[in-house]
Amino acid sequence: MSSADVQREFDVVIFGATGFTGQFVVEEIARVVQKEHGIKWAIAGRNKSKLETVLKQASEVVGNDVTGTSIIIADVADEESLLSMCRLTRMILNCVGPYRFFGEPVVKACVEAGSHHLDISGEPQFIETMQLKYHDAAQKAGCYIISTCGFDSIPADLGVIFTRDVFKGDLNSIEAYLSINTGPEGGGGHYATYESAIHGFASVKELSALRKTLFVKPLPKPAHRLQRRPQLFRGERVGSDWCVHFQGADRSVVQRTQRFNYEQLKERPVQFNPFVRISSTFWLVIIALMTTIFSLLANFSFGRSLLEKYPKIFTLGYFSHEGPTKKQIEGSSFSWHFVGEGYETKIADPDQQHDDKPSKMIETRVCGPEPGYVTTPICLVAAAMTVLKEAEKMPLDGGVLTPGGAFRKTSLRDRLTEAGMKFEKL
């Protein structure tokens, strides 16, 4: 039995419950525990009054009184308070970002206390640093540290695994195309996500040295490499929409999953490249212009200050301190369209390459509700329940893992489907 599975006062503690996303996570777990009987949960943060308000709002939204839920006072700047919090629970759902600045103390406390840690980070520099620094210690402590348990990157990571599972033969590569759909009210995002993106752009150069240390052994080189796409192209397989490279964490997360499943399960690695679909030339020009300005300013301290000070200006009102409205959230959704290529025959040895060219195609889709504040809480809470209920199906008895590595053999996909997401072969 791992230290995270011993008897503790709580099964789950939501840390950062008063944040914009944290509120939605509290509402989601309040829904789920009505079905998952016996789950003991609490919320944590710095301000008791604000935490009480979160529980009151969640009760009104869900229609179930959770105002009696336990409250824990903890501060990311107070190491002892974090350790005390972690010792009370089997698992922390960490909603305090940007994780680059506030994530490591919570991970460290979880490992020391032997508590599982799930978060919704989409920051590769933080995620991979945690793997480098804490994987061995987490494995020894018997706890799982799993980042990107939200829209970044469960739909993409599990979508690749789903595509692989339904493909008859050896899957060689996948191109994935993301569509974000909004209603008449448009869409929006909260400042915290925007702030994480600013510092993510600024830290890109750090990743190369980090990965040389983290990934020492190369993966087998595929005989047939995935086509290299220009920065801008017409997606001939998705209605000839304009497409640009997706700048989120999904590609790096999927690659880490493919590496892990190759090393642990002897599965053939699948090449993966994600893109974003843009339906009109007008929005293509706007997005290209804003992305160029954003990436240039993010490289300088003064530029980052400007970006942080004026989020509405630099995103044409999309990101704000207020976040999206209820109507914007209700009218939004996402869809990942996966286009895979592979071989008719299957070779058991993942190191042995096919002589013939890929001749077989497959198309699948993963779709769901608004990504940031509906799908993300669904994914995080479903992942949490999976760890609590199906730890025996997870690998290594602990460690710093990706969602696809951690949940490969669990029923997480079924939980997500029950919650309103779809995984389908086209």
Write the pLDDT tens digit of every residue in 330-375: 999 999 999 999 999 999 999 999 999 999 999 999 999 999 999 9
- pLDDT band per the 50, 70, 90 thresholds, residue 290: confident
When mean pLDDT is compared across 52-66, 113-127, 282-296, 326-340, the lowest value belongs to 282-296
CA 74/CA 79 separation, integer angstroms:
9
In tens, the pLDDT along 185-239 reads: 999 999 999 999 998 888 888 888 899 999 988 899 999 999 999 989 998 888 8
CA 295/CA 232 separation, integer angstroms:
16
pLDDT at 352: 96
Phi-psi region of 150 (alpha: psi -120 to 50; beta: other; left: phi over 0): beta
pLDDT at 353: 95
Q: List the structure tokens of 409.
A: 């053999």
In tens, the pLDDT along 228-278 reads: 999 899 988 888 889 999 989 999 999 999 999 999 999 999 999 999 999
Q: Is 179 exposed, middle or buried (0-12, 13-18, 19+ CB in 10 A)?
A: middle
pLDDT (average), residues 113-141: 97
CA 422/CA 237 separation, integer angstroms:
20
Q: Given a cut of 70, is residue 128 above it in pLDDT?
A: yes
Mark out the alpha helices in 33-142 (DSSP H runs): 48-62, 79-87, 99-102, 104-113, 124-141
Q: How many CB atoms lie within 10 A of CB 168?
A: 11
Q: What is the residue-averaged pLDDT of the chain?
A: 94
Laid out side by side, the sheet with 70-73 consists of 70-73, 41-45, 12-15, 91-94, 116-119, 144-146, 399-401
pLDDT at 279: 81
Name the range with the highest mean pLDDT among 279-288, 290-299, 403-412. 403-412
- pLDDT band per the 50, 70, 90 thresholds, residue 7: confident
Q: Of 177, 160, 185, 285, which is closest to residue 238 (Cα–Cα)?
A: 177
CA 335/CA 368 separation, integer angstroms:
7
pLDDT at 291: 85
DSSP bridge partners of 150: 153
When mean pLDDT is compared across 190-194, 358-362, 412-416, 421-425, the lowest value belongs to 190-194
In tens, the pLDDT along 67-115 reads: 999 999 999 999 999 999 999 999 999 999 999 999 999 999 999 999 9
